[in-house]
Amino acid sequence: MKCWSIVATLVGGLALGAMAGPVRAEDNAVIKGKVIFKGDPEKYKRTKLDTSKDANCTKPVGSEDVIVDKDNNPPTLRNVMVSIKEGLGDRKFEAPKTPAVLDQKDCHYEPHVLGVVEGQEVVIRNSDPTNHNIHFLPKINEEVNKTQPKQGMEDKITLKKEEPFKVKCDVHPWMGMYITVFNHPFFSVTDKTGTFKIDKLPPGKYVVQAWHEKFGIMTANVEVTSGETKECDFTFEPK
């Protein structure tokens, strides 16, 4: 009986290890691309936000809900979360050992859109010489509502369930950002260049999703083979 239970434990452990195991050699496909903005960029100019509530917020803070980088050709959209929505099947992926960092700096959040893997640690830091109160507003994960009154304070949170949600500061009403928790590490957020890159992908057929806080969701079907790099652009055209 004992012997069987040891064998069962070993087999079970090995199976789990294989499911959430290291990246396989053939997991090296890449999906990359650009998120293009089609429309009048002048309509979506960033504005200076009123930060007069706190005299410690000395640096100007700009709106971040829509950031169009009009100097790029064509103009691109920043802070778009591009991720694999479907196609990974039941494969489990290990959470990265390095924590994701969410910094409260110059009275705004850095980054504005953050992706984390289930079980990955998130370090919340206050880099400002003022009080911040970080408030996660999830529906499935546990709510986080923490005050960080001193500069340099850090809190560590682990998010356990797949879910996108908003984060706000209870002291500074203009501060807001978004966190998305994934059950895999295949996501990327567009930057100033408007580009994204999802690498180390297993070969397969995928539904790729692009999410923007104002303009919603777009999807595309992409098939990649081992070692292949596929281009996939998204175009957001606000009505």
Partner 1 sequence: MQVKKSWILLAVIAAALVASAAPAWAQAVAPKTTVPIDGEYGRFFSLPTDVSKNGHRIDNLIHWTHAFMAVLFVGWGIFFVYCLMRFRQRPGHQAHYELVHAKPSKYLEVAVLIVEIVLLAGFSVPIWASVKNDLPPADKAFRVRVVAEQFAWNFHYPGPDGQFGRTDPKLVDTATNPLGLDREGDPHAKDDIFALELHIPVNQPVICDISSKDVIHSFFLPVMRVKQDALPGMRIPVWFEAVQTGTYEVACAQLCGNNHYSMRALMYIQPATDLEAWLREKGKPPEEFVE
Nearest approach in angstroms of CB 44 to partner 1 is 11
Phi and psi at 70, nearest 5°, equal -75, -15
Quick check: 24 binds partner 1 (CB under 8 A)? no
Single-letter code of the amino acid located at 131: N
Quick check: 216 binds partner 1 (CB under 8 A)? no
Quick check: 52 binds partner 1 (CB under 8 A)? yes
> Which of 63/158 has CB closer to partner 1?
63
3-state secondary structure of 3: helix
Radius of gyration in angstroms for the set of CA atoms belonging to the chain, rounded to a whole number: 20
Quick check: 174 binds partner 1 (CB under 8 A)? yes
Residue 137 CB contacts under 8 Å (≥ 6 apart), including other chains? 143, 165, 166, 167, 168
Count of residues engaged in binding partner 1, rule: CB under 8 A: 28
Interior CA angle at 194 toward 193 and 197, to 5°? 100
Nearest approach in angstroms of CB 178 to partner 1 is 12
- Residues 126 to 155: which contact partner 1 by CB under 8 A? 131, 133, 145, 147
> Which of 56/229 has CB closer to partner 1?
56
